[in-house]
Amino acid sequence: MTQLTSDMPVESLRLGFIGAGRLGCALAWSLAQRGVSVHAVASRSESGAAALAEPIEGCRILMAQAVVDTCDLVFITTSDAGIAPVARSLRWRPGMGVVHCSGATEVDALASAAAAGALIGGFHPMQTFSDPAAAVRSLPGCMVTVEADPVLQAVLARLVARLDCTVNVLPPGMRARYHAAGGYASQFVNVLLAEGARIWASWGGDEEDAMRALLPLLKGTVSAIESAGLDKGMPGPVSRGDVGTVAGHVQALTEMDADAIALYRALCRRTVPLALRAERISAATAQEIQRVLDE
């Protein structure tokens, strides 16, 4: 087995995966499709490992230690809680690489591998992986946060480029904060849509209709943000300075229930600085909107 060097071409790497779940499959398949050798996989279940290996020519199903022993760079793609115990349970070689793909877990979860001389790192794609085949299609264009020893950093950056993704570099100790930020473009979008559907249900509308109405709106908003930016791409009454419309919302949701108005107030307060930043409303209008929200 070779030791990693910063100028090592990705074609000469032998990659291994431990953990054949949603992200493991999507990442292994994407790399294999782009000419990187995914040499071996281990997982808790043989069926999981077989699902990852099946579409990749030459990918072997091995025990986790054999993956480590036969690969130059190993991706631990178990659940977050499994990363440190899996790393501790294996014997690592000096100069090989090992990374995890968790956004929230610090890289030192791999400290036991580092103690054996392995180069350790984090490789976190900022994307949702639910259906691995769909994730293969949505991965190009994403940002991948790489935090690693310098030699491994260079190797991982080339893998990111091979995936047609871009590298984000994160200072140590910031992973929990960084991962929380990602939640605003993932699970909290679900929460906001669920609140829209709950309001929709208050007059007897069903969730399916609500999603038919709200999802195209969400897509339009995302395109507006992409083309005009967060502030100038923000739609809605605050961005137009429609104080009366905001007052109508406040009254309607206050009549609905305490939760509905509490969330509306918290979110609407955050729209005001964006509208100001876009120079769409004056300071006086911003104050008027704040007054309506505080009433």
Contact set with ligand NAP (CB under 6 A): 18-24, 42-45, 48, 77-80, 82, 86, 100-103, 124-125, 128-129
Contact predicate 241/227, CB 8 Å: no
Strand partners, 41: 17, 61
Closest separation between CB of residue 212 and ligand NAP, Å? 25
* Residue (23 or 260) nearer to ligand NAP, CB: 23
The nearest distance, CB 19 to ligand NAP, in angstroms, is 3
> What residue type is 233 in one-letter code?
G
Judged by CB, which is closer to ligand NAP: 25, or 210?
25
- Residue 10 or 86 having the CB closest to ligand NAP: 86
CB of 52 to ligand NAP, least distance (A): 9
Distance between CA atoms of residues 243 and 92, nearest Å = 63
- Helix axis angle for 258-277 and 283-294, nearest 10°, is 170
Please, what is the minimum distance in Å from the beta carbon of residue 28 to ligand NAP? Answer: 11
Residue whose beta carbon is closest to ligand NAP: 21
The answer to whether residues 74 and 121 touch, using CB atoms and an 8 Å cutoff, is no
- Enclosing H/E stretch for 74: strand 73-76
Which phi and psi (to 5°) does residue 173 adopt? 85, 0
How many whole angstroms separate alpha carbon 29 and alpha carbon 39? 12
Q: Which is nearer to ligand NAP, 101 or 272 (CB)?
A: 101
On whether the CB atoms of residues 119 and 150 are closer than 8 A, the answer is no
Cα separation, 126 vs 121, whole angstroms: 16
Give the H or E element holding residue 41.
strand 37-42
Instruction: Identify which of residues 77 and 239 has a Cβ nearer to ligand NAP in the complex.
Output: 77
Minimum separation from the CB atom of position 9 to ligand NAP (A): 26
At its nearest, how many Å lie between ligand NAP and the CB of residue 181? 13
Q: Which is nearer to ligand NAP, 181 or 201 (CB)?
A: 181
